[in-house]
Structures are given as C-alpha cells and as structure tokens.
C-alpha cells in the first residue's frame, strides 16, 4: 500500500465514461515495452489512479501517457495525460491512517520503521488532500453507536502538524492496551461521514495485535451492526 501512493500517477483518459457503473475490473491498463505490476482504480469520470512497480516492488518513475494502453475489450481509449499524484491538483483525496501506538509496537521495535513509512506517505500529501490520523488512547474519546472507542483523531493537510501529532502519539502517548479494532471502527466512521462521491481511502499501520477492543472485525459502520 505504501508503494501505491509513492508510485501513483493520475491518467486522464478520453472516450470512457467511468460514471455509468463501470468498475476498475472492466478496464485493462498495460504498460508498454516493460514488465511491471499495476494497481489502479477509478477516481473520477475519465480519471484513473495508477501505481506501477517493478519486480522488486519499487516505483517506476518517469512514465508518460505514451507508456500506457487503456482499453475495455476491443475499445481503446486516448490517454490525454499522465501526471505524478504529488504534482497534480486535479483530484483531491481523503485518506484515513489508522496507526497503532500501543506499547507492543515498542516491544517489537516497530516504531521507527512505522515512522519512516508514515514520513514517506506524508511527503506526498498536497494542500488539497484531507488527512485523518487515528491512534489509540487510554481513555474513550469517540462514541459510535453504543461503543465508546479508545481512540484519538487528528485532521489536517499540514504535513508538519501531522508529523508532530504522530510523533507525540508514538513516543509520548503510547497505550498499555491494544485497541486496533476500535481504531479501525473509528476510521470507518470517519470515512462513512465523508460525501459519497469523494475519493476515500483507509490505511492501517499495526502489528495486528488486539486484546482490548469492544468491537470485533465484524464491525461495518454505524447502523450496520458490530
């Protein structure tokens, strides 16, 4: 997932209307003249967000519209442009990062690798992007349905402020208990409250341990059970 953002390009595609029930799996995207692993998704009418990685899962950079073929069946689309995600203002993204700041992360020596990965993510944040950070908290600060969630959230597009909140949460406000599922439930609720047509993504950084959450992996959001 980290490399998806770092290697993402926005393709502007002419001839296909992505707004009429067309799904990403209906579209075929190919990189010409080189072997590559692609991930892509529709972000707007005529716009695809595409990630291109080499065999070592490293981003392939410097690609242009001439390097791609996009089609549906025998129909081929005209690619108007290809721009790195961090340089384009054409599409705003809403990204929710759920970050495990429990003491178990320190015990596993996972804090520094996590900070490094998050710093790489945050370097790609643009002023038009809307970023939410969700971390664990020893006290319940957010309520969803009947659940009091042990989470703390922060919303900004300012990279420095996001980094400071994250550093403080990991280094000074780590929790003795693990509330991974509650933090994920908080992330889901934040996404649910966003406008339906917005581009929404949630990324989870954790060692996967949860011992203390009041919700389970079956949680799907407010009004849909837990």
- 178: its two tokens: 């693990």
Q: 203: Cβ–Cβ under 8 A, 6 or more apart, which residues?
A: 1, 95, 96, 97, 98, 121
Q: What is the pLDDT of residues 121-170, one digit of tens each?
A: 888 888 889 999 999 999 988 888 788 999 999 999 899 999 999 999 99
What range defines the domain where residue 120 resides?
93-205
Query: What was the pLDDT predicted at 45?
Result: 81
Residues 13, 32 within the same domain:
yes
For residue 171, give the 3-state DSSP assignment: helix
Domain membership of residue 213 (yes or no) is no
Place of tokens 């950079």: 61
Domain membership of residue 211 (yes or no) is no
Residues 119, 72 within the same domain:
no
Q: Of the residues 87, 121, 138, which one is the last residue of a structural domain?
A: 87
Residues 59, 117 within the same domain:
no
Residues 100, 62 within the same domain:
no
Domain membership of residue 224 (yes or no) is no
- 158: its two tokens: 């300012």
Residues 109, 76 within the same domain:
no
Tell me, rounded to whole angstroms, the distance of Cα 78 from its chain centroid: 28
Element (H, E) at 156: strand 151-156
Read off the pLDDT band of 223 (50, 70, 90). Answer: very low
pTM equals: 0.75
13 neighbors 78 (Cβ within 8 angstroms): yes
For the chain, the domain total comes to 2
Sign of CA dihedral 208, 214, 219, 221: negative
Residues 71, 173 within the same domain:
no
Domain membership of residue 222 (yes or no) is no
């Amino acid at each position: 997932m980290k490399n998806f953002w770092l290697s993402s390009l926005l393709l502007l595609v002419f001839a296909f209307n992505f707004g009429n029930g067309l799904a990403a799996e209906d579209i075929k995207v190919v990189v010409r003249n080189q072997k590559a692993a692609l991930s892509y998704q529709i972000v707007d009418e005529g716009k695809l967000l595409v990630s291109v990685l080499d065999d070592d899962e490293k981003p392939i950079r410097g690609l242009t519209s001439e390097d791609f073929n996009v089609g549906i069946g025998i129909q081929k689309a005209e690619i108007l442009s290809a721009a790195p995600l961090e340089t384009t203002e054409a599409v705003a993204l809403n990204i929710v990062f759920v970050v495990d700041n429990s003491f178990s992360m320190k015990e596993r020596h996972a804090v520094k690798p996590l900070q490094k990965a998050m710093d790489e993510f945050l370097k790609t944040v643009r002023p038009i992007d809307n970023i939410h950070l969700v971390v664990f908290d020893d006290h319940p600060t957010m309520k969803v349905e009947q659940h009091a969630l042990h989470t703390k959230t922060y919303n900004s597009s300012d990279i420095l402020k996001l980094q400071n909140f994250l550093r403080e949460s990991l280094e000074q406000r780590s929790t003795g208990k693990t509330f991974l599922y509650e933090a994920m439930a908080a992330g889901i609720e934040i996404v649910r409250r966003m406008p339906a047509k917005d581009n929404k993504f949630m990324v989870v950084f954790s060692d996967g341990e949860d011992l203390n959450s009041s919700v389970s992996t079956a949680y799907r959001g407010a009004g849909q059970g837990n």
